[in-house]
Protein backbone atom coordinates (compact mmCIF):
# COMPACT_ATOMS: atom_id res chain seq x y z
CA UNK A 1 0.00 0.00 0.00
CA UNK A 2 2.72 2.43 0.95
CA UNK A 3 5.11 2.87 -1.97
CA UNK A 4 8.81 2.45 -1.37
CA UNK A 5 10.30 5.89 -1.03
CA UNK A 6 13.22 7.06 -3.08
CA UNK A 7 13.65 10.26 -1.07
CA UNK A 8 17.03 10.89 0.57
CA UNK A 9 17.10 10.24 4.34
CA UNK A 10 17.51 13.95 5.20
CA UNK A 11 14.44 14.86 3.21
CA UNK A 12 12.42 12.11 4.85
CA UNK A 13 13.50 13.24 8.33
CA UNK A 14 12.70 16.92 7.82
CA UNK A 15 9.39 16.10 6.13
CA UNK A 16 8.44 13.78 8.98
CA UNK A 17 9.37 16.34 11.65
CA UNK A 18 7.20 18.98 9.97
CA UNK A 19 4.35 16.48 9.87
CA UNK A 20 4.84 15.65 13.58
CA UNK A 21 4.62 19.34 14.53
CA UNK A 22 1.30 19.58 12.69
CA UNK A 23 0.11 16.19 14.05
CA UNK A 24 -0.06 14.77 10.54
CA UNK A 25 0.96 11.43 9.08
CA UNK A 26 4.79 11.24 9.04
CA UNK A 27 4.73 9.34 5.76
CA UNK A 28 2.72 11.73 3.58
CA UNK A 29 2.44 14.80 5.81
CA UNK A 30 -1.20 15.26 4.81
CA UNK A 31 -3.50 12.81 6.58
CA UNK A 32 -4.60 13.42 10.17
CA UNK A 33 -2.72 11.20 12.61
CA UNK A 34 -5.15 11.40 15.55
CA UNK A 35 -8.89 11.00 15.86
CA UNK A 36 -8.88 12.28 19.44
CA UNK A 37 -6.27 13.45 21.92
CA UNK A 38 -3.45 10.89 21.83
CA UNK A 39 -5.54 8.32 19.95
CA UNK A 40 -4.21 7.36 16.56
CA UNK A 41 -6.40 7.01 13.53
CA UNK A 42 -6.26 3.33 12.51
CA UNK A 43 -4.54 4.37 9.29
CA UNK A 44 -3.74 7.51 7.35
CA UNK A 45 -6.77 8.51 5.28
CA UNK A 46 -4.52 9.95 2.57
CA UNK A 47 -1.71 7.41 2.05
CA UNK A 48 -3.11 4.42 3.97
CA UNK A 49 -0.16 4.02 6.34
CA UNK A 50 -1.13 1.92 9.36
CA UNK A 51 -0.24 3.71 12.61
CA UNK A 52 1.35 2.00 15.62
CA UNK A 53 1.72 -1.22 13.66
CA UNK A 54 4.71 -2.42 15.67
CA UNK A 55 3.89 -4.36 18.81
CA UNK A 56 6.51 -2.50 20.85
CA UNK A 57 5.51 0.97 19.76
CA UNK A 58 4.20 1.96 23.19
CA UNK A 59 7.67 1.30 24.64
CA UNK A 60 9.20 3.66 22.10
CA UNK A 61 6.54 6.24 22.84
CA UNK A 62 7.32 6.04 26.56
CA UNK A 63 11.05 6.44 25.90
CA UNK A 64 10.54 9.48 23.69
CA UNK A 65 8.08 11.00 26.18
CA UNK A 66 10.34 10.31 29.15
CA UNK A 67 13.40 11.81 27.50
CA UNK A 68 11.48 14.92 26.44
CA UNK A 69 9.97 15.34 29.91
CA UNK A 70 13.34 14.98 31.64
CA UNK A 71 14.89 17.52 29.28
CA UNK A 72 11.95 19.84 29.93
CA UNK A 73 12.33 19.39 33.70
CA UNK A 74 16.05 20.22 33.58
CA UNK A 75 15.45 23.37 31.55
CA UNK A 76 12.42 24.32 33.68
CA UNK A 77 14.48 23.91 36.86
CA UNK A 78 17.11 26.38 35.69
CA UNK A 79 14.46 28.80 34.40
CA UNK A 80 12.53 28.66 37.69
CA UNK A 81 15.72 29.23 39.67
CA UNK A 82 16.82 32.08 37.39
CA UNK A 83 13.58 34.07 37.16
CA UNK A 84 12.08 33.50 40.62
CA UNK A 85 13.48 33.75 44.12
CA UNK A 86 11.62 30.68 45.32
CA UNK A 87 13.36 28.54 47.87
CA UNK A 88 14.23 24.94 47.08
CA UNK A 89 10.97 23.19 47.99
CA UNK A 90 8.56 25.56 46.18
CA UNK A 91 10.90 25.64 43.18
CA UNK A 92 10.85 21.84 43.07
CA UNK A 93 7.06 21.76 43.30
CA UNK A 94 6.71 24.30 40.47
CA UNK A 95 9.23 22.43 38.30
CA UNK A 96 7.66 19.02 38.93
CA UNK A 97 4.13 20.32 38.30
CA UNK A 98 5.15 22.03 35.08
CA UNK A 99 6.98 18.88 33.98
CA UNK A 100 3.96 16.68 34.67
CA UNK A 101 1.74 19.00 32.63
CA UNK A 102 4.35 19.07 29.88
CA UNK A 103 4.51 15.26 29.84
CA UNK A 104 0.75 14.97 29.37
CA UNK A 105 0.69 17.70 26.72
CA UNK A 106 3.64 16.11 24.87
CA UNK A 107 2.20 12.57 24.81
CA UNK A 108 0.64 12.77 21.29
CA UNK A 109 3.88 14.22 19.95
CA UNK A 110 5.86 11.38 21.57
CA UNK A 111 3.61 8.86 19.86
CA UNK A 112 4.00 10.59 16.54
CA UNK A 113 7.77 11.06 16.89
CA UNK A 114 8.11 7.32 17.45
CA UNK A 115 5.87 6.72 14.44
CA UNK A 116 8.11 9.03 12.41
CA UNK A 117 11.20 7.12 13.57
CA UNK A 118 9.54 3.93 12.36
CA UNK A 119 8.72 5.56 9.04
CA UNK A 120 12.21 7.00 8.48
CA UNK A 121 14.10 3.86 9.48
CA UNK A 122 11.76 1.41 7.82
CA UNK A 123 11.93 2.99 4.39
CA UNK A 124 12.25 -0.27 2.50
CA UNK A 125 9.35 -2.01 4.21
CA UNK A 126 6.97 -3.53 1.72
CA UNK A 127 4.93 -5.62 4.14
CA UNK A 128 2.96 -2.76 5.64
CA UNK A 129 -0.30 -4.66 5.82
Minimal distance, residue 107 CB to Zn ion, in Å: 21
Task: Kindly indicate which of the ranges 12-20, 21-29, 70-78, 106-114 contains the residues binding Zn ion, using the contact rule CB under 5 A.
Answer: 21-29
Minimal distance, residue 29 CB to Zn ion, in Å: 7
The residue from 15, 31, 102, 107 that contacts Zn ion (CB under 5 A) is 31
The residue from 13, 41, 47, 94 that contacts Zn ion (CB under 5 A) is 47
**Could you tell me which of 108, 107, 114 has the C-alpha nearest to residue 40?**
108
Residues 6+ apart with CB under 8 A from 39: none
Name the residue nearer to Zn ion (CB basis): 43 or 110: 43
- Please name every residue paired with 30 in a beta bridge, in sequence order, or none if there are none: none
The residue from 19, 20, 27, 112 that contacts Zn ion (CB under 5 A) is 27
Assess 44 for contact with Zn ion (CB under 5 A). Answer: yes
Minimal distance, residue 66 CB to Zn ion, in Å: 27
H helices of 52-127, in order, are 57-83, 88-121
- The total of other beta-carbon atoms located within 10 Å of residue 71's CB is 12
Task: Kindly indicate which of the ranges 7-15, 30-38, 100-108, 113-121 contains the residues binding Zn ion, using the contact rule CB under 5 A.
Answer: 30-38
CA distances from 33 to 24, 30, 83, 95, 108 (A): 5, 9, 37, 30, 9
How far is residue 21's CA from residue 14's CA, in Å, rounded to a whole number?
A: 11
Binding site for Zn ion (CB under 5 A): 25, 27-28, 31, 44, 46-47, 49
Amino acid sequence: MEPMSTEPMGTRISKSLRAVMRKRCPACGKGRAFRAWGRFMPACDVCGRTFARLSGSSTGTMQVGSMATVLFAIVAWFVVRAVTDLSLDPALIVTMSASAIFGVWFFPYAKLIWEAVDYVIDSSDEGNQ
